[in-house]
Amino acid sequence: MEGIRYRGRTLQECMDQLPKAPGSKIGLPEASFWLLLTDEIPTDAEVKALNEELHKRSALPADVIKLVDSIPKDTHPMTQLAMGLLALQPTSEFGKAYRSGNLKKTEYWQYTLEDALSLVARVPVLAARIFCNVFKNGQHIPSDPSLDWAGNYAQMLGVNDSDKFKDITRLYLMLHADHEAGNVSAHTTHLVGSALSDPYYSFAAGVCGLAGPLHGLANQECLRWLKNTHETLKGQEPTVELLTSFAKETLASGKVIPGFGHGVLRNTDPRYTIQRQFVQENFPDDPLAKLAEVCFQAIPPVLEATGKVKNPWPNVDALSGTCMQYYGLNQEDYYT
């Protein structure tokens, strides 16, 4: 489980220790946000207060709603998200304070935190609105202040009202709460912020980086590879022998196998391990889940045997798309 820690805690320790929604076993992502900022595990009361604060900040201004609702529906969701974020920029507390000429360097963090909290509150509402505009004919589900941050986002999508879909959404967001420092989106956000661009500008820039196919398409490509492999098998039960042969043929043809390897980690991505546990507990007999499990056994030895792969083990993208598909979120352009 080495390689990814939140404030010194493994992801499994975070799963075990972070507060949870009633009846859930998943550590709340907003609790991981608290942990990352303070180095402390929040109490249930503190998470409740944080969720109340986020709900207060979550409303989108009327002009932003008007803009987002006017964007052509065939515009990629990532483009729409970047546009929505930039439309929110005039509300930046950091920007207003800096332009006033009275902002001291020692106060930068306070106004940056204000913007960060408002962004965390507003992005799920904005992203859900974009989803419903594009895929649900503009039929929106209002925010529910009685729900936690991630559970509310899952409900606003209108895809699946089950508690398990809320759980997989919580899990996905908790596992991505600290998305490294060296990848394109995180690096871009830091770089733009270093120019004292406010968090709205910085986050929008990071989103544009994430839209690049070499960065944000990873989980889509993993899912498509699994679906194509499933079709190629033509009803045959996936076995280690069958997938080993298929993997070798894939590599021999000059293609890559997505979902395996990592730029930093040199063992199985702990985010994958936790997702795998969720799959095994909730839908182990799903065809794509079964195929992914056999791939986990068959593909690493094939990659390792090439002598060219430093890390042949699965990463977080190997299962995330499969989880979303199972619960009905099958609009792959929205995954990025």
Are the beta carbons of 94 and 119 closer than 8 angstroms? Answer: no
Question: In Å, what is the CA distance from 206 to each residue of 92, 185, 192?
Answer: 17, 4, 9
Interatomic CA distance for residues 131 and 136, integer angstroms: 7
50 alpha-carbon distance from chain centroid: 20
190 belongs to the catalytic site: no
187 belongs to the catalytic site: no
225 alpha-carbon distance from chain centroid: 20
Whole-number CA gyration radius for the chain: 21
Q: Which position has the token pair 């980086």?
A: 209
Query: DSSP letters along 107-152, please?
Result: GHHHHHHHHHHHHHHHHHHHHHHHHHHHHSTT------TTS-HHHH
* Among 115, 167, 269, 317, the one annotated catalytic: 317
229 Cβ contact partners less than 8 Å away, ≥ 6 residues apart: 243, 246, 291, 295
* Among 262, 269, 286, 333, the one annotated catalytic: 262
Q: Which position has the token pair 């709460």?
A: 177
Grouping H, G, I as helix, E, B as strand and the rest as coil, residue 174 is helix
176 belongs to the catalytic site: no
Helices (H) and strands (E) in the chain, counts: 16, 2
* Among 179, 215, 230, 286, the one annotated catalytic: 215
Query: DSSP letters along 270-306, please?
Result: HHHHHHHHHHHHH-TTSHHHHHHHHHHHHHHHHHHHT
Q: Which residues are catalytic?
A: 215, 262, 317
